[in-house]
Amino acid sequence: IYVIDSADQKRFEETGQELAELTEEESLTGVPLLVFANKQDLGTAAPAAEIAEGLSLHTYRDREWQIQACSALTGEGVQDGMNWISSQIMNRKK
């Protein structure tokens, strides 16, 4: 699970590089990736689709991934993301 500040667009490139480095870790090969696009309650927040493009999530072919718009402040979207990652974990166990 990776959390990004949707309102801090200046750091998207840096954050994308950090995420790419993390996913290259051998121990994380094939592990599902949930990206929470946090702070969607702010007017300056970038939409989740724009963040996914900025992080080049479409290039991740070795794992399932999901970007979930959310607000930790209001709780909106958090449960949806947790449900997705839980289902991914359960599917891997089968």
Give mean pLDDT, residues 57-79: 95
Q: Give the best-scoring range by mean pLDDT among 24-28, 50-54, 67-71, 90-94.
A: 67-71
Q: What is the CATH number of the domain that holds 31?
A: 3.40.50.300
Give mean pLDDT, residues 29-58: 95
Residue 82 has pLDDT above 80, yes or no: yes
What's the mean per-residue pLDDT of the chain? 93
H helices present in the chain, as ranges: 12-23, 48-54, 78-93
Coil, strand or helix at 83: helix
* Number of domains forming the structure of the chain: 1
pLDDT of residue 94: 64
Report residue 25 as tokens.
């870790």
Coil, strand or helix at 57: helix
Coil, strand or helix at 4: strand
pTM (two decimals): 0.92
Residue ranges making up the domain that contains 13:
2-93
Residue 68 has pLDDT above 90, yes or no: yes
